[in-house]
Each structure stands twice: as structure tokens, then as C-alpha cells.
Amino acid sequence: MMGPAWYLRRLSRMGPAEVVGRARHAVVQRQWRTAPPLPPEWPSHPRFAAVLPSGVLGKVSGEAVSRLLATADELMDGRAEYFGVVRTDMVAPDWFLDPKTGRRAPSDEYAFDVPYRSEDTVGDIKQIWEPSRHQHLTVLAAAYALTGSPAYATRVAEHLRSWWAANPPLRGPHWISGIELGIRLLSWVWVRRLLDGWPGAVELFEDNPDFQLQLWHHQNWLATLRSHGSSANNHVIAEDAGLLAAACAFGWFPESAGWRTAAMRSLDVQLGRNTFGSGLNAELASEYHGLVLELGLAAALEADAAGTPVPDSTWDVLLRMTDALASIVDGRLRPPRQGDADDGFGPIVDGTATDRWASLLASGEVLFGRPAWWPAVLADDVRTPLFASLAARTPRATGVRPGRRPAHLRDAGMTILRSGPLWVRCDGGPHGFLSIAAHAHADALALEVRHDGVDVLADPGTFCYHGEPQWRSYFRSTLGHNTLELDGRDQSTSGGPFLWTRHARTKVLSVRTPPEGPSRWSAAHDGYAPAVHRRTVELDGGTLVITDEVLGETGAPGRLAFHFGPAVTVTLDGTTARLSWPEPSGSGVAAPDAVSDSAAAAGAVESSSPSAAGVAEHGSPSAVAEPGSPSAAGAVASTSPSAAGMPDPLAGSVSGSLAGGGLRTAVMELPPELAWSVHRGETDPPLGWYSAGFGRKEPSTTLIGSGTPGHLTTLLRFS
């Protein structure tokens, strides 16, 4: 639980209006404890009219159906994975169990008394919340809609009845957070739509007083306790989207018309506030860009299908967000790994093997049209034809679309440099969104570098939110990113797991991104004031030059970090790092132009010199991290003199294998002014990790250069 000091820091980031609003929420929560609100009379003959148009399901490809059914059948067998933890109880889930810790959250306490941030008391709250978003039920309902098999529908009904019985209004952990209620309402809308035609659908929904009670209380909660002030980020979008969708699809209460109007107005305003003019989400967290776009599209389409006017400004924001996504993805349609990521999705009607980003772009192409500069999308999905079927009255957005692919999104401070298969993200934007910058990382001037979609210089990710403060701090720290740490401190000051009390200010100094030829980016930040960190990045063909300068007050010790993706093998010889990784397999997207490797690049990794092979002390200039050795637990292992000419070909590699396929290689010349060391899978303190998704982490190789930085040049040359 948070202590008094945290509450004081949090209070300091609020304005007067937010303080008053939170006080009002506290009064409501106190009233509801003893006098919960009562729903009105249920209409005598409610009718669900928000059905899919005839023939839509026949437009879904066989490949997309196969992927969906593979996931649905896993669920029918009782298996599902949430944040790296496999559950095998999904035939009849315990809605309060955290399978990671084995703890069970209290189910009968008043919701706002549940200490949900305490893992010792409740467990990992995200493990508990995620199944109760009921997105696994939209998958099962989609499987029913596409096959007609009643077993899928029956399982959906069993889970809904079980959840409604176990979670009476305002009791237990599932009534604490508005984002959970909003996404759950979206799921119920899609479940009812996809179960239309099943004989038990009306009994489960329209004729069910349990559903009536849940539906009204969910909407009343969201209409009364909407997020605001410094918390009006992706949470308020989910709250508005869920309230709007439910009030449109289940508009059976006296309050429904008012809820629709208020939610549509708020969604329009909040989408605008949460989005830069360039179209990027203002939280500067890539996965939240996807979440907000999915939620916004789902809600706007729901309103449009119900005949509720959607402002042109809403469609314009959604169009800009879609174009921004298309502009920043790499050659395999992967967006940056910037800021927090917790694997949150809008409505899910596809199998887990469906590519989220290709699906979003496919939906955007159908809804808004495709400019010539967009990347080609060869994959297909279930969602796109279903979304498109609701858009019969959708007006074309009125915004002007870019004539060529944007490379520099000025207001967001994101610049993408490209050269053949090389993709480089340069971070020169604001620290985060609103006064607390909840989902920001201390990553000013950080880089990501990918070759044909493979992480070479990688953003390590997020891993966790609650319960493991040491890991939360590492994954959002300056040292945890490809940038410079000075004087042993982060560029911005953390006041808690979702609170930054001082924000580094970054300014892009110059950008040159011509359609052909060399590109250049330069930016600086004041996070170490009075010293200034300035970085310049130049990309010319297959060569990347990174120049770091510390200006002003000098003499403070620094650490320059380079984090490599889990597929990359790293061999360090003095100040030369030799990199290799398996050639990536094909995907459902258009491949970028290839750069042919030389015959030497296709061979084995070059060996380190005998003089370097025997230098093994932790923190030494020359070392190799060996998987499976004690180094993986926190120290760099020695390489014996007998191995001088034969470095471990798997050094630094975690996923994939170097055998049986082609290799890609690169050479990194590191600044000789610093002493370089190899780190991998260390835990005290954490260093050398990569998180592919929330709740998951794996060892990866990190190079740290320590010393007194002044003018540093790093050269990364791809074969």
C-alpha cells in the first residue's frame, strides 16, 4: 500500500478542480457503502437490435476463422494464458484467484476497501482483473457465430452467470477500476451481438434480472465516477467507450439517452486531449496508442450503428491515429516499444495468433481508405469485416492526410529513420502525459534499432506494474534504456510506480529525413541540469553513427547503455562488439527491401582475440555472457584461455538458434573513452533483461560503458 509520503506527492500533482472532484468521488463512495443506488424498473419487453448485418460472417476468411477456433478450443479445454501465466481452470474459473501467487482476493468486501495494490493481501491484481474483462468470452461467442456450434455459446452463458452471481454490485475487486468496467461492457455488447440466433441469448440477456442489475450498475458507476484531471488518460477513454457502447446497444433505461449523450461528448473531448495533432497517443506509450485506437473505433462504430451522431472531430482523431500508426511501424508492422505496455486490448474477436497491428491497419484501411505511402498489409482477421459492417453511415473524416509517409512527428518528438531493412526510432518528445506522466519511462534521447523487424538495440519493455518495485523501477529507468545515465540518477524523478514528480524537458534540435540518402536527427534534454545531454544520430545506408555529448557542468560519472534484443548474440572484444542473429522467418506483411549479406557475414561469428578472451572480471572491458552459466544469474563468467579463438556462439542469445539458418551480422565500435562491460540476467540490481510482454521477462545482453562522458561516438555497421 502507498504511504503518506506518496499521497502528498500525488496531491502535489493535482490542480484545485481535480482535488474537488476527487473529494466528490470520495463522498459518493462513502454513500454507496451503506446506501447503494437502486436501478429503475426493467422494461417489459427489451429488444436487442444491434445485430450484425446479414452475410457479414461469410466475409471472414478461412485462415482467420482457423486462428480464432484454435484459441477458442484452447479455452474450451480450460486453458488460457494471461501475462505469461497459464491457467488451466478456465472451464469454471475462480474469478478472484491470482494463479501467479496463489492468493485469492477478498470477494465480499466493499469494493473501495479492497487493498488492490497490495500483492501480499490480494495477489497480482492484473492477473485477477484480466479474465473478468470477459474478452475470452467474445472469442468464444465469435466461434459460435462463425460455426453455429452451441457448445461455445453454452460456455459463454455459464461464465457470465457465474460471474454475475459472484460479483454483486460494488462488492469485491472487480468494481474498483473504471477501465475494467468499461472494457467489460464492451465485451458484453459484442457477446450479445455474436450470440444472436442462439436460442438461449434472450434468456441470458434481455429476460435476465441478473444482467439487468449488472448492466445498470456498471453504467451508473461509469457515469458517476469517471476519471478526470491527472488520471484522464487511457482509463477515461475506456470508461467513455464502454458507457457509450452499452447505452447504444442496450438503451433500455430511462438514463440511457443521457448516458449516450454525455459519453459521446466526453469521448470526443478526451480523444482530442489524449492525441497529438500528429496522431500519436499523448501518453507516448505505443501499446496504449493501440488500446485507445481500438476503444475509440469500437465506441464510435457502435454509436454510428445505433444512429447516435458521432462528431466529425471524433472521426478525425481516429483517422489521425490510424495514419500515425501506419507511419511509425517497421517493415513487419511492429510499432515502437516506447513507454509502458500492459497487453491491454479493445474488443477481441480474433485468435491469439492474429497480428494486432496488421489487424488495426486492415480495419483502418477499410474505414478510412489507404494512402499510397501506407505499408502493405497481407494478413487478414475477423475484426475488420465485423467493424466495417457497423460503419454503413460512417462519414469520411474531414482531416487532411499526409501526402508522404511522415518520418518526424514533431509534437510527439518521435522520429523514424529508415534505410532499407533498417528502422531507427529516436526519442525527442515530452516525458509523458499530464502532470503524473503515469506510463512514461525515463528514456529521453533513447534509441531503438531494428533490422528487418528484429530488435538489435531494443527497448527492454515494461514487465510489471504492482508488487515488484525493484523491477518496476528498472524497466522504466534511464539505465534500462539505450541512452546516457549521468551521476547515477534517472533523467526524470519518480514519485511512485505511476507518478513522476520532475519531468526532463527534451528539444529536437534538427531533423533531416530525405526520401533517399543519409538522414540525421539531433536533440537534447535538461534532465541533468545544469548539465545538458545532446545526442546526434546519423543513418547512411547500413551505417549508424551515434554521438553523445555532455555540455555545461562536467566531471560527473556516467553510464552509456546499449540493450540488445533477445535474438542477438554479442561478443565484446575491447571496444568492438560483434553482433549476430538468426535471419527472421516470413510473416503476413510485406517484407522490406533486403540488404544482401556478404559471404563472410553468412558464416560464423568472428572470434575475440586471445588477449581479450582471458579477461573475465565483472565490469572489465572485454567479456562474453554465457547462457546457462553463473553469469546468467548476475555475474559475467570467465572465458578460459583455451577458448581464446572460439567464443561461445550463443553468447547473449536467448530465443532462437544460430544453427540451421542464415545469419545477420553487425559490428559496433564503442567509445574508447569508457570502460565497457557485459551484463546479462543480473538481479541485484536488475540489469540485462527484455520483456516481450506484460508479466514476462528473459535475460538479454546489455553493454555498459562507464566513465566521465564528454564527447562520445558509437558506430554501428550492418553487413
Backbone angles phi, psi at 667, to 5 degrees: -125, 135
Most confident region among 410-414, 582-586, 593-597 by mean pLDDT: 410-414
**What integer is the mean pLDDT of 112-118?**
93
Tell me which of 112-121, 354-363, 532-541 is least confident: 112-121
- Comparing CA positions, the residue from 250, 247, 249, 225 lying closest to residue 236 is 225
Q: Are strands 532-540 and 558-563 parallel, antiparallel or unpaired?
A: unpaired
Q: Residue 471 is placed in which grid cell?
A: 523491477
Residue 192 has pLDDT above 70, yes or no: yes
pLDDT bracket for residue 395 (50, 70, 90): low
Phi, psi of 625 (to 5 degrees): -85, 130
| Separation CA 493–CA 586 (nearest Å) | 42
pTM: 0.89
Strand-pair partners of 718: 666
Supply the pLDDT for residue 400: 85
Confirm if 555 and 537 have CB atoms less than 8 A apart.
no
Q: How far is Cα of residue 216 from the mean position of the Cα atoms in its chain? A: 31
Res 589 pLDDT > 90: no
Q: What is the mean pLDDT of residues 162-176?
A: 98
Phi, psi of 97 (to 5 degrees): -90, 135
Distance CA 55, CA 84 (A): 37
Q: Which regions of 307-460 does DSSP assign to beta strands (E)?
A: 408-409, 414-419, 422-427, 447-451, 454-457
pLDDT for 710: 87
Grid coordinates belonging to 649 = 556462439
Average pLDDT on 333-348 reads 96
Element holding 691 (H helix, E strand): strand 689-693
Which amino acid, 589?
V
Distance from C-alpha of 169 to C-alpha of 625, rounded to nearest angstrom: 53
Q: Is pLDDT at 584 greater than 50 in this prediction?
A: yes
* Residue 393 Cα distances to 307, 398, 404, 518, 543, angstroms: 8, 15, 28, 45, 49
Averaged pLDDT of the chain:
88
β partners of residue 664: 581
Kindly state the average pLDDT of the residues 303-320: 94
State the average pLDDT over residues 536-542. Answer: 97
Per-residue pLDDT band for 633 (boundaries 50, 70, 90) equals: very low
| Closest among 205, 704, 329, 268 to 481, alpha carbons compared | 704
Please state, in angstroms and rounded to a whole number, the distance separating the CA atoms of residues 569 and 514.
32
Could you tell me the three cell numbers for 700? 538479454
Mean pLDDT confidence for 133-157: 98
| In contact, 611 and 436? CB cutoff 8 Å | no
CA 501 to chain CA mean position, Å: 23
8 A C-beta contact, residue 267 and residue 296:
yes
Grouping H, G, I as helix, E, B as strand and the rest as coil, residue 718 is: strand
Name the more confident of 642 and 267: 267
Q: State the pLDDT confidence band at 575, using cuts at 50, 70 and 90.
A: very high
pLDDT band at 631 (very low <50, low <70, confident <90, very high): very low
pLDDT at position 499: 85
Q: Which of 604, 634, 611, 638 is nearest to 623 (CA)?
A: 638
> What pLDDT, on the 0 to 100 scale, is given for residue 7?
64
The fraction of the chain above a pLDDT of 70, given in percent, is 87
Residue 76 to residue 11: CA distance in whole angstroms: 46
Looking at the predicted structure, is the pLDDT value of residue 618 above 50?
no
pLDDT at 123 over 50: yes
Judged against a pLDDT cut of 90, whether residue 367 lies above it is answered with yes
As given in the structure block, the three cell numbers for residue 83 are 501475462
The answer to whether 332 and 314 are in contact (CB under 8 A) is: no
For the cut 80, the answer to whether the pLDDT of residue 656 exceeds it is no
Answer yes or no: is pLDDT of 470 > 90. Answer: yes
Question: In the 8-state DSSP scheme, what is residue 715?
Answer: E
Would you state the pLDDT for residue 113?
Answer: 96
Which of 411-415, 609-613, 705-709 shows the lowest per-residue confidence on average (mean pLDDT)?
A: 609-613
Res 15: pLDDT: 82
Res. 405 pLDDT band, cuts 50 70 90:
very high
The average pLDDT across 499-519 equals: 94
Residue 613 has pLDDT above 70, yes or no: no
Residue 33 has pLDDT above 70, yes or no: yes
Confidence check: pLDDT of 465 > 70: yes
pLDDT at 251 exceeding the cut of 70: yes
Going by pLDDT thresholds of 50, 70 and 90, the confidence category of residue 636 is very low
Say what percent of the chain tops pLDDT 90: 78
Instruction: Locate 643 and state its grid cell.
Output: 577458448
